[in-house]
């Protein structure tokens, strides 16, 4: 049942008999993308890739009404829903429940995986019946409750893991019924860090970082998942740890005399809990995994990291390696002390997460397509605290050259390598000329090395800071180089790079006695960059760059600004008297040149002065829309930064404040505020833009409790809704 569309129930609507062993996929509706109001037994179906979309109409009074929508997979289905795969369904942003919405019957033994829940409830929303023995993983909510939101029935023996919400409750949000015997682990809210937010206190559950001390029988120990489907290893502390008063249900024998936490029971390769022959609290299987006998005691600390063996077991650490730093293969749930050992033991497709610390080592990918990242590549503080230090080696991170785009390096500060006289040197070394790695390299800081920043990288290089290196910032790279800050390098910014070079700030690089302080011998398209304050013997800005040069600011470089290069178009070029369509030679009016702030002032001649090429990227170097209302038309600005309006002003004669921001037609925006930078509250979930212009909102205290000028402090966020 595929590819259908309806206002309600894209696949099935009001079908109340048995619905069994069907594939119901890629349907679309306002509510219940796959199924709506089907109250009979629903079992052993595959329900993927359905979605809900907002639907609207004009009512009898002539008002435009947008209806809320929910249930990408199922909505208002109140019977028994059992043994189904509900995966990759999508709820519209204003709705809820990517997988299930307002299904009030029994939901059991389902895999609810990879759904997107719109406003709240990535997996399930407002389902008030019994929810038990489900695998609820990898679901996402735009705002609240990555796994479940507003589900007030009994939530029993579920594994709720690796879900994500942008604000609160990565695992559960506002679920007020009984929560028991669950594993709630690895869920990722962006603000607050809670697995469980504003819910009933769970009992007999394994909850990551549970430090409240509340709830009978709760633990915060590593669950030791055995596989990608999150069965339990025999030494998991979740085995035989559920509520002793709970019935065994369908848990297989032998079951150890007590129900397990989570969805399955202990159904991995071993079918019973690991024994503890020496009764030291350490399961025999775990001890024998790390030691040759059972003689190591729980209070022992063979790696001298001040974490005794019992603590290492509970935290999931390697008890034989000192835990000054932590590296986790999150795919295999294995801990390592070094990045190199994690990659050595990894396989294609694995994800390796590196916790903050200084890692004094050289890292080699060896052709493996793995994701290597810090705990949060988008957080500058995490990037600064997660350091790979090369100890003066010629190379810090080395690729073989055969890696594809599924290989990712993200979120590190990479420093301290030295130029070698006997081998090629670079902080990141990609392979060979025109045969370099196609790995994606993003959100890193590569700085203060004695060699080049990157050599021979041919994939995508984006959102990095490559700064203050003795060599060239980027050399011999065929990558798409976009939205990077390339500054202060002492053999030029880019040399012999032949991919697209777009949206970068290339400033304050130098090459004494060389060509092109900013760029030299670069044969790719050069578009939308700010190339300023560079110096070289020939062509301070660009030298011998012979492809398209468009929408660039080329200013403040040692004369001449360009040497032996193509004629730019739609660019701002200091002292320019030559030809070239729509070039200007007026002062670009940077916001604060002395502070290194190359954004544009509101009177800059570079605003609306570029060319709207069909291939323009969606965002600029700061993450703003690339074509933004900021001048007199929707025309791209020249340079790396798009000018946008973003103001907060007091209202004269009142205690109110007014927010003003640039908007785009067809988008909606949410407004949030906080008085302490911790507890963000939504004032309005979505305001529709009236066109490509600026929007304003007045805070007079009626929606925020206190007028802003009477509050000790207040902060606001304007979020563009997906």
Count of CB atoms situated within 10 Å of the CB of 412: 29
H-helix or E-strand spanning residue 179: strand 179-180
Q: In the numeric block, which tokens belong to residue 3?
A: 């590819």
Q: Using the predicted structure, report yes or no on whether residue 253 has a pLDDT greater than 90.
A: no
Q: Which of 91-100, 147-156, 453-462 has the lowest mean pLDDT?
A: 91-100
pLDDT number for residue 65: 58
pLDDT number for residue 272: 66
Q: In the numeric block, which tokens belong to residue 622?
A: 């700061």
Range of 172-186, 298-312, 663-677 with top mean pLDDT: 172-186
Backbone torsion region of residue 138, taken as left when φ is above 0, otherwise alpha when ψ lies between -120 and 50, otherwise beta: left
φ, ψ of residue 85 in degrees (nearest 5): -100, 115
Peptide bond into 304 cis (omega under 30): no
Give the pLDDT band (50/70/90) at residue 312.
Answer: confident
* 275-286 pLDDT, tens digit each: 888 888 899 999
Range of 38-52, 317-331, 627-641 with top mean pLDDT: 38-52
| DSSP SS3 for 701 | coil
Q: Using the predicted structure, report yes or no on whether residue 521 has a pLDDT greater than 80.
A: yes
Mean pLDDT (whole number) for 471-491: 96
Mean pLDDT (whole number) for 460-467: 98
Give the pLDDT band (50/70/90) at residue 2.
Answer: very high
Nearest CA-CA partner of 583 in 604, 610, 607: 610
H-helix or E-strand spanning residue 385: helix 380-385
pLDDT number for residue 270: 45
Q: Which of 46-50, 115-119, 334-338 has the lowest mean pLDDT?
A: 334-338
pLDDT number for residue 251: 64
pLDDT number for residue 490: 96
pLDDT number for residue 53: 85
Q: What is the 3-state secondary structure (H, E, C) of 269-331?
A: CCCCCCCCCCCCCCCHHHHHHHCCCCCCCCCCCCCCCCCCHHHHHHHCCCCCCCCCCCEEECC
Q: What is the pTM of this model?
A: 0.63
pLDDT number for residue 594: 87
Q: In the numeric block, which tokens belong to residue 502?
A: 């777009």
Where in 539-667 does DSSP place strands (E)? 542-543, 549-550, 553-555, 562-563, 572-573, 590-592, 597-600, 646-650, 657-662
Q: Using the predicted structure, report yes or no on whether residue 192 has a pLDDT greater than 60.
A: no
pLDDT number for residue 131: 97
* 625-634 pLDDT, tens digit each: 888 877 778 8
H-helix or E-strand spanning residue 526: strand 526-527
Of 684 and 584, the one with more pLDDT: 584
pLDDT number for residue 250: 62
427 in Cβ contact with 453 (< 8 Å): yes
Range of 167-176, 261-270, 288-297, 623-632 with top mean pLDDT: 167-176
pLDDT number for residue 645: 86
User: What is the spatial distance between Cα 187 and Cα 177, in angstroms, rounded to a whole number?
Assistant: 20
Q: Using the predicted structure, report yes or no on whether residue 14 has a pLDDT greater than 70.
A: yes
216 in Cβ contact with 192 (< 8 Å): no
**Dihedral in degrees, nearest 10, Cα atoms 540, 545, 547, 548:** 0
User: What is the spatial distance between Cα 131 and Cα 125, in angstroms, rounded to a whole number?
Assistant: 11
**Dihedral in degrees, nearest 10, Cα atoms 525, 530, 534, 539:** 40
Mean pLDDT (whole number) for 220-233: 89
| DSSP SS3 for 289 | helix
Backbone torsion region of residue 679, taken as left when φ is above 0, otherwise alpha when ψ lies between -120 and 50, otherwise beta: beta
Q: Using the predicted structure, report yes or no on whether residue 193 has a pLDDT greater than 80.
A: no
Backbone torsion region of residue 131, taken as left when φ is above 0, otherwise alpha when ψ lies between -120 and 50, otherwise beta: beta
φ, ψ of residue 313 in degrees (nearest 5): -65, -45
* Strand order through the sheet with 164-165: 140-141, 164-165, 188-189
H-helix or E-strand spanning residue 287: helix 284-290
Q: Mind giving me the DSSP string for 625-672?
A: BSS-SSSSSS-PPSSS-----EEEEEPTTSS-EEEEEE--TT-EEEEE
Q: Using the predicted structure, report yes or no on whether residue 269 has a pLDDT greater than 60.
A: no
pLDDT number for residue 475: 96
297 in Cβ contact with 281 (< 8 Å): no
Calculate what percentage of the chain has a pLDDT beyond 90: 64
φ, ψ of residue 171 in degrees (nearest 5): -95, -60
Range of 23-27, 382-386, 593-597, 668-672 with top mean pLDDT: 23-27
| Average pLDDT value over all residues in the chain | 90
Q: Using the predicted structure, report yes or no on whether residue 188 has a pLDDT greater than 90.
A: no
Where in 15-158 does DSSP place strands (E)? 19-20, 28-31, 35-36, 42-43, 46-48, 51-52, 55-58, 64-67, 74-75, 81-82, 85-87, 100-101, 107-108, 111-113, 124-125, 131-132, 135-137, 140-141, 148-149, 155-156
- The radius of gyration of the chain's CA atoms, rounded to the nearest angstrom, is 29
82 in Cβ contact with 58 (< 8 Å): no
Mean pLDDT (whole number) for 647-659: 90
Taking CA atoms, 58 is separated from 7, 53, 204, 688, in Å, by: 15, 17, 51, 16
261 in Cβ contact with 241 (< 8 Å): yes
Largest CA distance in the chain: 87
Q: In the numeric block, which tokens belong to residue 319?
A: 């008890």
pLDDT number for residue 68: 59
Contacts of 306 (CB under 8 A, 6+ apart): none
**Dihedral in degrees, nearest 10, Cα atoms 601, 606, 610, 615:** -40
Taking CA atoms, 359 is separated from 346, 413, 414, 470, 601, in Å, by: 18, 10, 10, 22, 41
| DSSP SS3 for 49 | coil
Give the pLDDT band (50/70/90) at residue 320.
Answer: confident
H-helix or E-strand spanning residue 341: helix 339-344
Q: Using the predicted structure, report yes or no on whether residue 573 has a pLDDT greater than 70.
A: yes
pLDDT number for residue 43: 97
* 122-144 pLDDT, tens digit each: 999 999 999 999 999 999 987 88
Give the pLDDT band (50/70/90) at residue 66.
Answer: low
Q: In the numeric block, which tokens belong to residue 165?
A: 């919400």
Q: In the numeric block, which tokens belong to residue 71?
A: 């249930």
* 368-404 pLDDT, tens digit each: 999 999 989 998 988 998 999 999 999 999 999 999 9
User: What is the spatial distance between Cα 392 and Cα 419, in angstroms, rounded to a whole number?
Assistant: 9
User: What is the spatial distance between Cα 262 and Cα 250, in angstroms, rounded to a whole number?
Assistant: 12
Q: Mind giving me the DSSP string for 529-553?
A: -EEES-EEEE-SSEES--S-EES-E
Peptide bond into 431 cis (omega under 30): no
Of 57 and 397, the one with more pLDDT: 397
The residue behind tokens 């690729």 is: 399
598 in Cβ contact with 639 (< 8 Å): yes
Of 670 and 209, the one with more pLDDT: 670
User: What is the spatial distance between Cα 270 and Cα 262, in angstroms, rounded to a whole number?
Assistant: 16
Q: Using the predicted structure, report yes or no on whether residue 222 has a pLDDT greater than 80.
A: yes
């Amino acid at each position: 049942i595929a590819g259908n569309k309806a206002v309600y129930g894209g696949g099935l609507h009001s079908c109340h008999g048995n619905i069994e062993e069907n594939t119901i996929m890629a349907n679309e509706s306002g509510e219940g993308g796959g199924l709506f109001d089907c109250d009979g037994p629903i079992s052993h179906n595959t329900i993927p890739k359905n979605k809900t979309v907002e639907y609207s109409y004009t009512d009898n009074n002539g008002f435009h009404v947008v209806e809320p929508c929910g249930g990408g997979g199922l909505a208002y289905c109140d019977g028994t829903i059992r043994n189904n795969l509900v995966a990759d369904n999508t709820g519209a942003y204003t709705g809820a429940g990517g997988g299930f919405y307002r299904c009030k019957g029994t939901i059991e033994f389902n895999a609810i995986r990879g759904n997107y829940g719109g406003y709240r409830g990535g997996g399930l929303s407002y389902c008030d019946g019994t929810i038990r023995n489900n695998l609820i993983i990898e679901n996402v909510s735009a705002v609240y409750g990555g796994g479940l939101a507003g589900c007030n029935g009994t939530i029993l023996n579920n594994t709720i893991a690796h879900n994500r919400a942008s604000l609160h409750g990565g695992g559960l949000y506002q679920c007020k019924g009984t929560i028991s015997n669950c594993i709630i682990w690895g869920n990722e809210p962006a603000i607050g860090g809670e697995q469980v937010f504003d819910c009933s206190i769970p009992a007999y559950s394994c909850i990551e970082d549970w430090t409240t001390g509340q709830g009978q029988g709760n633990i915060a120990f590593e669950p030791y998942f055995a596989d990608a489907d999150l069965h339990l290893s025999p030494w998991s502390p979740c085995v035989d740890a559920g509520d002793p008063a709970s019935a065994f249900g369908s848990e297989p024998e032998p079951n150890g005399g007590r129900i397990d936490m989570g969805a399955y029971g202990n159904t991995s390769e071993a079918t019973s809990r690991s024994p503890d022959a020496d009764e030291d609290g350490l399961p025999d299987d775990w001890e024998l995994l790390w030691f040759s006998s059972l003689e190591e005691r729980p209070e022992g600390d063979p790696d001298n990291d001040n974490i005794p063996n019992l603590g290492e077991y509970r935290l999931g650490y390697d008890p034989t390696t000192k835990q000054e730093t932590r590296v986790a293969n999150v795919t295999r749930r294995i801990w390592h002390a070094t990045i190199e050992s994690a990659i050595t033991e990894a396989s294609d497709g694995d994800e390796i997460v590196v916790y903050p610390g200084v890692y004094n080592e050289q890292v080699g990918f060896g052709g493996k397509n793995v994701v290597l990242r810090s705990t949060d590549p988008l957080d500058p503080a995490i990037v600064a605290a997660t350091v790979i230090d090369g100890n003066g080696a010629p190379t810090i991170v080395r690729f073989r050259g055969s890696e594809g785009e599924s290989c990712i390096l993200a979120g590190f500060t990479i420093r301290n390598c030295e130029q070698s006289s006997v081998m090629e040197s670079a902080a990141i070394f990609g392979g060979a000329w025109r045969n370099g790695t196609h790995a994606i390299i993003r959100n890193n800081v590569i700085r203060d090395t004695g060699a080049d920043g990157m050599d021979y990288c041919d994939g995508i290089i984006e959102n990095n800071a490559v700064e203050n290196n003795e060599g060239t910032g980027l050399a011999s790279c065929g990558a798409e180089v976009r939205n990077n800050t390339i500054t202060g390098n002492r053999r030029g910014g880019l040399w012999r790079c032949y991919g697209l070079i777009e949206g970068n700030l290339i400033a304050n690089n130098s090459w004494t006695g060389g060509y092109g302080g900013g760029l030299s011998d670069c044969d790719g398209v050069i578009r939308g960059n700010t190339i300023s304050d560079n110096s070289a013997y020939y062509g301070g800005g660009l030298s011998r760059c012979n492809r398209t040069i468009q929408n660039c600011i080329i200013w403040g470089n040692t004369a001449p600004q360009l040497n032996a290069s193509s004629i730019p178009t739609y660019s701002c070029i200091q002292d320019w008297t030559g030809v070239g369509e729509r070039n200007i030679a007026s002062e670009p009016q940077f916001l604060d040149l002395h502070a290194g702030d190359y954004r544009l002032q509101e009177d800059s001649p570079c605003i609306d002065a570029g060319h709207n090429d069909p291939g323009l990227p969606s965002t600029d170097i700061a993450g703003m829309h690339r074509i933004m209302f900021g001048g007199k038309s929707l025309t791209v600005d020249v340079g790396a930064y798009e000018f946008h309006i973003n103001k907060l002003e007091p209202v004269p004669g009142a205690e109110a404040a007014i927010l003003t921001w640039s908007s785009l037609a067809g988008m909606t925006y949410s407004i949030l505020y906080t008085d302490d930078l911790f507890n963000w509250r939504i004032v309005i979930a979505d305001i529709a833009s009236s066109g490509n212009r600026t929007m304003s909102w007045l805070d007079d205290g009626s929606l925020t409790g206190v007028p802003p000028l009477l509050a000790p402090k207040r902060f606001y966020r304007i979020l563009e809704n997906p």
